[in-house]
């Protein structure tokens, strides 16, 4: 089963929390705070696996998560960092953010790409000791790892793409030009999936050819089978347009040529300007007059025409050498540049909402604040001072005051209630 798209969810590991601990040792008075830092969360990496050629594995497993960093411990012991997660994909896979469609990575090379970064570990209370605050009873929580819903899209890396109407001989052409063995039969849509083949003309003379399933009118809007695979033409440096020169199914090859080019342009306007060579197949079934007229019409459109019969191996070699010569002057296979920019969240940009109901002030949508609260000892005065500074620096207190809060009013943060004090 061929699969060239998938939607998955990835989540990097959260950073471990810093520890609140104090040094305890015989004959050592006032050992002081010695809570260690939390470990860093594992990141999610994507890497190319040359043994994969579809995204079928992602149809059965859709959620991937890296390991969380361990919490810090006493004795200034830092927590262990979480293990990174490596996801293997076929070469040519494009990773997009499902939320906005922006490209995060193009997996065309061999280097691993980090898609989701693990969270940083939190500081232990040893970091917060000062000459005036010698017994800090609070620490810093680890930050959350990045999480994405991703769209994976496989675009085959091929130098040449064979396009054309169904049953014009594309599969036969690639089978006699390379070692590829696609299914060949005398009916429409025999080819259900793209087929790659390496064409070798001699020592150090080769290129990759892709047989794209047959296109029909309306393919750009989803008609037929070819629309699912038009994306694979996108990377091709050169298009070989295969026509039925004999019109053996009652179709006009010139009309087929114009129709397919319209569908390519409607799918992606850049494809309309992609270099093309016409392979007029089944020429052994056409008359001399038909071939002459076809050549005249196509050359008037500015394309080079080669007459051949893939079934009898006639005229194949001149076409392949012409393709190879033209590829030498064309730019390399297209690679996509990432255009996703991760939002920077600073201390003053931490998000939250405040809702007022029956005189209660509910602070919501603030997971970052809930994590900090988990490290605060509400019975410790210095810890509460630290928490108040967080509320002030994040803008929560300013927002409460804008909504008219008064001293003694109740504030609720994730079920934790306290009275507002100026």
6 contacts: CB under 8 Å, gap ≥ 6: 55, 58, 59, 62, 151, 152
| Mean pLDDT of the 146-166 span | 89
Residue 311 has a pLDDT of: 87
pLDDT number for residue 226? 53
pLDDT beyond 90 at 81: yes
Report whether CATH 2.70.210.12 matches the domain 1-157.
yes
pLDDT for 406? 87
Contacts of 229 (CB under 8 A, 6+ apart): 4, 193, 194, 212, 213
Which pLDDT belongs to residue 169? Answer: 85
The pLDDT, as a whole number, for residue 348 is 44
- Yes or no: is domain 161-327 CATH 3.30.1050.10? no
The CA distance from 52 to 87, in Å, is 12
- pLDDT confidence of 118, banded at 50, 70, 90? very high
The CATH T-level fold of domain 347-419 is GMP Synthetase; Chain A, domain 3 (3.30.300)
Tell me the pLDDT tens digit for each residue of 373-384. 777 777 777 777
Residue 225: the pLDDT is 53
Instruction: Enter the DSSP assignment of 404.
Output: T
Residue ranges of domains in the chain: 1-157, 161-327, 347-419
Q: What is the pLDDT of residues 162-182, one digit of tens each?
A: 888 888 888 889 888 888 776
Which pLDDT belongs to residue 347? 47
Segments of 171-245 assigned E as strands? 195-202, 205-211, 238-244
Average pLDDT of the segment spanning 153-160: 87
- Write down the pLDDT at residue 381: 74
Angle at 212 between CA 292 and CA 110, to 5 degrees: 130
**160-163 vs 238-244, strand pairing mode:** parallel
pTM for the model = 0.74
What is the pLDDT, as a whole number, of residue 278? 93
Q: Do domains 1-157 and 347-419 have the same CATH topology?
A: no
């Amino acid at each position: 089963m061929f699969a060239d798209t998938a939607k998955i969810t990835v989540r990097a590991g959260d950073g471990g929390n810093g520890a609140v601990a104090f040094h305890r040792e015989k004959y050592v008075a006032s050992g002081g705070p010695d809570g260690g830092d939390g470990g860093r969360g594992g990141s999610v990496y994507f890497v190319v696996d040359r043994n994969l050629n579809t995204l079928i594995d992602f149809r059965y497993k859709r959620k991937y998560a890296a390991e969380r960093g361990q919490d810090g411990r006493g004795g200034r012991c830092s927590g262990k960092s979480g293990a990174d997660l490596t996801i293997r994909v076929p070469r040519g896979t494009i990773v997009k953010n499902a939320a906005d469609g922006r490209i995060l990575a193009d997996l065309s090379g061999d280097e691993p790409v980090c898609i989701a970064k693990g969270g940083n570990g939190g500081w232990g209370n040893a970091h917060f000791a000062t000459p005036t605050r010698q017994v800090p009873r609070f620490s810093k929580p680890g930050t959350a790892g990045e999480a994405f819903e991703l769209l994976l899209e496989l675009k085959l890396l091929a130098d040449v793409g064979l396009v054309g109407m169904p049953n014009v001989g594309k599969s036969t052409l690639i089978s006699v030009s390379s070692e590829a063995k696609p299914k060949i039969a005398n009916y429409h849509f025999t080819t259900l999936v793209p087929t790659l083949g390496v064409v070798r003309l001699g020592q150090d003379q080769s290129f990759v050819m892709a047989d794209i399933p047959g296109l029909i009118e309306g393919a750009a809007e989803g008609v037929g089978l070819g629309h699912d695979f038009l994306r694979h033409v996108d990377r091709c440096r050169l298009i070989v347009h295969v026509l039925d020169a004999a019109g053996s199914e009652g179709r006009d090859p010139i009309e087929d040529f114009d129709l397919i080019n319209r569908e390519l342009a409607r799918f992606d306007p850049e494809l309309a300007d992609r270099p093309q060579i016409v392979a007029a197949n089944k020429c052994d079934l056409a008359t001399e007059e038909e071939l002459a007229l076809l050549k005249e019409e196509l050359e008037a459109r500015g394309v080079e025409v080669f007459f051949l019969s893939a079934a009898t191996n006639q005229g194949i070699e001149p076409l392949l050498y012409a393709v190879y010569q033209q590829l030498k002057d064309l730019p390399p296979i297209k690679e996509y540049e990432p255009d996703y920019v991760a939002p920077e969240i600073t201390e003053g940009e931490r998000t939250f909402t405040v809702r007022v109901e029956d005189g209660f002030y509910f602070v919501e949508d603030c997971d970052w604040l809930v994590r900090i609260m988990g490290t605060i000892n509400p019975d410790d005065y210095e810890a509460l001072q630290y928490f108040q500074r967080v509320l002030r620096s994040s803008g929560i207190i300013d927002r409460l005051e804008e909504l008219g809060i008064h001293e003694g009013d109740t504030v609720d943060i994730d079920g934790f209630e306290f009275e507002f004090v100026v």
